[in-house]
Amino acid sequence: MEHGDFGVGRKGLRPGDRMDGAMSQHIIDSLGSYWERLRGDRLAPRRSEIDPRAFEDALEHMFILEDTAGAPLRIRLGGTRICDMMGMEVRGLPARALFNDGDRTRAQELMREVIDRPARVDLQLTASGRGMADAPARMILRPLCDDFGDITRILGCLVVETEQFGVETQLTIGAIRLDTLRERAAIPRPVAGFAQEQAAFQMPHLKPIDGGKASTERKPLSRAHLRVVKD
């Protein structure tokens, strides 16, 4: 088992709980904030650094996508809510299968942007399926590095505001936010103990010398000191 292939067991909604906008935003924020803290000044954190204990509220809504050369991104790991929505175990599925037919190409392009730019992507979605009312949903996609430092995976979170999924539930893309990532330069800090006050520059004190003795006055040249030189 790969390090970090953590359990995605169900916490589930308690009786009386409702998956509303406030709860979905809390879940999304818990994973998004954790990724930002882990990232620090880098473009993206490493996959091996992720600790699921840091975002337990989002665990059943999270997923990890894997970039495979020349093929659509695939789901490497998916939480129980993702499996419930699809009605099956999602490991190994193309990630674009979460979306309806009309949005699959666009979804794949956005996932590639996350890896290739790299970028942060936030999506406003609608989940639809037979036997359920259309439900608002939110998804975030964040890049991850492998152990060689290459960005090859995506950490994601999908929250659908419904208690029960319909048959063949799929996602429709609404609003999109894409932010290109940059490494954040570290702010230089002065090193204590090495700073010294700069002494003011002073011209050297010059005095004319007369017979080996210092003189504070300079005598004017007399005409006797001057002579004409002829060839």
| pLDDT, greater one: 221 or 175 | 175
67-81, 88-102, 198-212: the lowest-pLDDT one: 198-212
On the question of pLDDT at 108 being above 50, the answer is yes
- What is the average pLDDT score of the chain? 82
Determine contact, residues 86/69, Cβ cutoff 8 Å.
no
- What residue spans define the domains of the chain? 21-180
| pLDDT, greater one: 176 or 18 | 176
Over residues 117-134, the mean pLDDT reads 97
Superfamily of domain 21-180: PAS domain (3.30.450.20)
pLDDT digit string, tens, across residues 172-204 = 999 999 999 998 665 555 544 444 455 554 544
Determine contact, residues 153/65, Cβ cutoff 8 Å.
yes
